[in-house]
């Protein structure tokens, strides 16, 4: 390649990148997942429109797999452990048993409705049974959902790529050459366990290294964090374990560890994740031939309906009913199983393996993803409201950044108070930060001020806090509790959420007594507010 050709390639790449960013902005305004416009841009650039000829399925598979690994690292970094730690068992069950149920039902539908042989039917069922992390993260995190629901869907999308990849590779060998079900289950179990072990080990080692080694520039922390996720993906793949699971778990550990420049790391990872998504979807749009897609329309609609209305609800009910999850939550989780890049990338595996009819599968999967993303993505807010599971007044989380002060053996925390946070109006002394910690500076509307104990915090404030490494975790927990519960956070648990009252012997109440209970609760809160108003500002107290 000559220097002039290099300039042309870079110019074209930059223009495509800017066009994709504009498309993401447009998609957000329209309430659509950005992946649809990225795919449309790739189709527009393809051989049937602007004439770029790209049909290398093997290259698409390699680049797509790499992009998915980066997306999963970013997904792990941006997932809060507190949101999913109680959901690990149901999400793991949904990612393994749920995928198996979905594959069986979808494959049966493809065999009966489309007349496909069992190998293509099983391949199609496995390819479309995985929810897409990029699509789920981009859509769900904009909705005010209960943490249990959002965390479960996010964890599932991070975990279920691994078993579907294994099934697609196994089914690509041919039905007559398949090992027995116990061997397949053993292979899946080994890859998941080994991938999880490698991801947790690299995440733990990376956390220890980044916590105790001060790097010479803040920009090196994000690079090191993403690099560790890529190392976990490659190391797991080298020993035939699940690289996708290893990458996600490494990101999850690093994203929830007490590390310097955590917010900057997440921002960098988010940018890299967007770049991976844009490149991935544009490439997949280039891979298909638009003139061949109309013949795939009817098969894609039929299989999509089987997946959306039968396979997904049955798999969700089978996995989540034992955990006493209500039907409304189950219905929303069924509808929120978005498909995206993962099925299209998986559709390249049988093409590379030279499975007869695999090009037909690629067209069906592509059309299915486009149509049902158009149906499911924009309607998720409406479905959530109809099922009455939204929490429109849910407080937004404060983002806390930390930088090490090596000379002073201290940490500098910075947080920005978002719109809707219950920290708005809370006075400095009401934060009740663990000692030794102090609020040193507030940046408000471009001006700086040194706060007094009675200085109230406001939306948009950037707050600087100096603390010690030993108390940093407690300070962050306290700040998040106040952000969720406001000045009455002491009436809540450590996360700022309502805690159940201790169990006591039940006392019989008359009708008048039961009616008085809400009034007593309101009176308690009024007394707490009155007490906060008359107490000297410098007095530090744990309870009103």
Q: Which long-range contacts (CB under 8 A, 24 or more apart) does 107-111 make?
A: 109/302, 109/303, 109/306, 109/307, 109/310, 109/311, 110/303, 110/306
Q: How does residue 231 score in pLDDT terms, banded at 50, 70 and 90?
A: very high
Contact call for residues 244 and 195 (beta carbons, < 8 A): yes
Residue among 403, 453, 395 at smallest CA distance from 424: 395
Distance linking the first and last C-alpha atoms of the chain: 73
- Total Cβ atoms within 10 A of residue 440: 13
Asked if pLDDT for residue 201 goes beyond 90, the answer is yes
Encode pLDDT of 437-477 as tens digits: 888 889 888 788 888 888 889 888 888 888 888 888 888 88
- The larger pLDDT score, comparing residue 7 to residue 141, is at 7
Rounded CA-CA distance 321/324 in Å is 5
Contact call for residues 368 and 128 (beta carbons, < 8 A): yes
Asked if pLDDT for residue 530 goes beyond 60, the answer is no
* Whether residue 436 has a cis bond before it, omega within 30° of 0: yes
Domain 3-386: which CATH class? Answer: mainly alpha
Please provide the DSSP assignment of 381-443 as one string: HHHHHHTT---TTPPPPPEEEEEEETTTTEEEEEEE--TT-TTTT-BGGGG-PPSS-EEEEEE
Burial-class residue 37 by CB neighbours within 10 Å (0-12, 13-18, 19+): buried
pLDDT value at position 404?
A: 61
Give SS3 for 142: coil
Q: For the packed helices 88-109 and 297-306, what is the interaxial angle rounded to 10 degrees?
A: 130
Rounded CA-CA distance 332/311 in Å is 14
Give SS3 for 467: strand
Query: By mean pLDDT, which of 257-266, 318-327, 349-358, 378-387 is the weakest?
Result: 257-266
Asked if pLDDT for residue 493 goes beyond 50, the answer is no
Asked if pLDDT for residue 371 goes beyond 60, the answer is yes
Contact call for residues 141 and 381 (beta carbons, < 8 A): no
Rounded CA-CA distance 504/334 in Å is 39
- Total Cβ atoms within 10 A of residue 186: 12
Q: What is the maximum span of the chain, computed from C-alpha positions, in angstroms?
A: 89
Asked if pLDDT for residue 402 goes beyond 50, the answer is yes
Q: What is the reported pTM?
A: 0.67
Paired tokens of 258: 């007490």
| Percentage with pLDDT > 70 across the chain | 79
Residue among 359, 416, 418 at smallest CA distance from 394: 418
Opening angle at CA 7, ends 61 and 224, nearest 5: 55
Encode pLDDT of 10-36 as tens digits: 887 788 778 777 777 776 666 566 677
Most confident of 74-83, 260-269, 349-358, 485-494: 349-358
Determine the distance from the C-alpha atom of residue 199 to the mean position of all C-alpha atoms in its chain, rounded to a whole number: 17
Residue located via tokens 């300039």? 7
Query: By mean pLDDT, which of 310-314, 380-384, 516-520 is the weakest?
Result: 516-520
Rounded CA-CA distance 241/440 in Å is 48
Q: How does residue 200 score in pLDDT terms, banded at 50, 70 and 90?
A: very high
pLDDT value at position 542?
A: 40
Asked if pLDDT for residue 80 goes beyond 80, the answer is no
In which region does residue 479 sit, left (phi positive, over 0), alpha (psi from -120 to 50) or beta (all else)? alpha
- The larger pLDDT score, comparing residue 520 to residue 141, is at 141
For the chain, the C-alpha Rg in angstroms (whole number) is 26
Asked if pLDDT for residue 405 goes beyond 70, the answer is no
pLDDT value at position 510?
A: 47
Asked if pLDDT for residue 305 goes beyond 50, the answer is yes
Q: How does residue 535 score in pLDDT terms, banded at 50, 70 and 90?
A: very low
pLDDT value at position 340?
A: 74
The predicted model gives 169-174 an average pLDDT of 80
Please provide the DSSP assignment of 172-231 as one string: TT-GGGPPPHHHHHHHHHHHHHHHHHHHHHHHHHHHHHHHHS--SSTTHHHHHHHHHHHH
Rounded CA-CA distance 423/33 in Å is 31
Contact residues for 21 (Cβ-Cβ < 8 A; gap 6+) = 278
DSSP state of 157: H
Asked if pLDDT for residue 544 goes beyond 50, the answer is no
Asked if pLDDT for residue 516 goes beyond 70, the answer is no
pLDDT value at position 521?
A: 47
Phi, psi of 403 (to 5 degrees): -135, 135
pLDDT value at position 233?
A: 92
The predicted model gives 212-217 an average pLDDT of 74
pLDDT value at position 504?
A: 44
Strand partners, 411: 404, 467
The predicted model gives 479-497 an average pLDDT of 66
- Sequence spans of domains, the chain: 3-386, 399-498+517-532
Phi, psi of 424 (to 5 degrees): -60, 125
pLDDT value at position 199?
A: 92
Opening angle at CA 120, ends 119 and 123, nearest 5: 85
Total residue count of the chain as it appears in this document: 544
Q: In this structure, which topology does domain 399-498+517-532 adopt according to CATH?
A: Alpha-Beta Plaits (3.30.70)
Residue among 127, 73, 83 at smallest CA distance from 249: 73
Rounded CA-CA distance 516/523 in Å is 11
Burial-class residue 3 by CB neighbours within 10 Å (0-12, 13-18, 19+): exposed
Asked if pLDDT for residue 105 goes beyond 90, the answer is yes
pLDDT value at position 541?
A: 39
Asked if pLDDT for residue 198 goes beyond 90, the answer is yes
Rounded CA-CA distance 49/388 in Å is 44
What integer best gives the mean pLDDT of the chain?
78
- The larger pLDDT score, comparing residue 65 to residue 55, is at 65
Residue among 458, 456, 457, 475 at smallest CA distance from 466: 475
Give SS3 for 52: strand
- The larger pLDDT score, comparing residue 50 to residue 358, is at 358
Q: How does residue 394 score in pLDDT terms, banded at 50, 70 and 90?
A: low
Asked if pLDDT for residue 432 goes beyond 50, the answer is yes
The predicted model gives 211-229 an average pLDDT of 81
Q: How does residue 509 score in pLDDT terms, banded at 50, 70 and 90?
A: very low
pLDDT value at position 523?
A: 54
Query: By mean pLDDT, which of 27-31, 127-131, 280-284 is the weakest?
Result: 27-31
């Amino acid at each position: 390649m000559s220097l002039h050709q290099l300039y042309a390639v870079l110019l074209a790449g930059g223009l495509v990148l800017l066009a994709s960013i504009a498309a993401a902005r447009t998609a957000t305004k329209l309430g659509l997942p950005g992946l649809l416009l990225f795919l449309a841009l790739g189709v527009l650039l393809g051989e049937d429109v602007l004439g770029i000829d790209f049909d290398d399925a093997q290259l698409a598979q390699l680049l797509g797999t790499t992009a998915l690994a980066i997306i999963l690292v970013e997904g792990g970094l941006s997932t809060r452990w507190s949101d999913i730690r109680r959901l690990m068992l149901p999400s793991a069950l949904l990612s393994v048993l749920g995928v198996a149920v979905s594959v069986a039902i979808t494959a049966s539908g493809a065999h009966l409705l489309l007349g496909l042989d069992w190998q293509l039917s099983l391949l199609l069922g496995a390819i479309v049974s995985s929810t897409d992390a990029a699509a789920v993260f981009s859509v769900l995190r904009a909705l005010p959902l209960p943490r249990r629901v959002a965390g479960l869907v996010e964890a599932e999308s991070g975990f279920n790529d691994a078993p579907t990849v294994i099934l697609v590779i196994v089914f690509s060998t041919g039905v007559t050459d398949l090992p027995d079900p116990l061997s397949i289950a053993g292979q899946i179990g080994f890859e998941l366990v080994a991938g999880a072990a490698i991801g947790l080990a690299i995440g733990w080692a990376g956390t220890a290294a980044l916590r105790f080694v001060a790097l010479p520039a803040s920009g090196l922390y994000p690079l090191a964090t993403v690099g560790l996720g890529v190392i976990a993906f490659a190391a797991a793949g080298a020993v035939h374990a699940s690289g996708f699971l290893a990458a996600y778990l490494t990101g999850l550990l690093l994203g929830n560890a007490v590390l310097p420049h955590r917010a900057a790391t997440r921002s960098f990872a988010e940018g890299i994740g967007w770049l991976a998504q844009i490149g991935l979807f544009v490439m997949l749009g280039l891979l298909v031939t638009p003139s061949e897609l109309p013949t795939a329309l009817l098969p894609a609609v039929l299989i999509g309906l089987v997946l959306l209305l039968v396979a997904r609800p049955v798999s969700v009910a089978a996995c989540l009913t034992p955990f006493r999850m209500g039907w409304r939550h189950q219905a929303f989780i069924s509808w929120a199983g978005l498909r995206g890049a993962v099925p299209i990338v998986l559709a390249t595996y049988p093409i590379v393996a030279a499975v007869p009819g695999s090009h037909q599968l690629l067209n069906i999967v592509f059309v299915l993803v486009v149509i049902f993303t158009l149906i499911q993505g924009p309607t998720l807010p409406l479905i959530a409201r109809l099922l009455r599971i939204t929490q429109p007044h849910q407080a937004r989380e404060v983002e806390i950044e930390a930088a090490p002060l090596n000379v002073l053996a201290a940490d500098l925390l910075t947080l920005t108070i978002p719109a809707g946070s219950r920290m708005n109006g809370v006075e400095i002394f009401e934060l009740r930060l663990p000692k030794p910690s102090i609020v040193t500076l507030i940046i408000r509307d471009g001006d700086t001020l040194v706060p007094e104990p009675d200085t109230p915090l406001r939306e948009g404030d950037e707050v600087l806090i100096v603390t010690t490494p030993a108390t940093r975790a407690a300070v962050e927990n306290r700040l998040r509790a106040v952000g969720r519960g406001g000045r009455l956070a002491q009436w809540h648990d450590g996360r700022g959420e309502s805690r159940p009252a201790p169990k006591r012997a039940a006392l019989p109440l008359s009708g008048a007594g039961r009616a008085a209970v809400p009034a007593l609760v309101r009176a308690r809160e009024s007394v707490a507010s009155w007490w906060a108003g008359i107490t000297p500002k410098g007095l530090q107290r744990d309870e009103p």
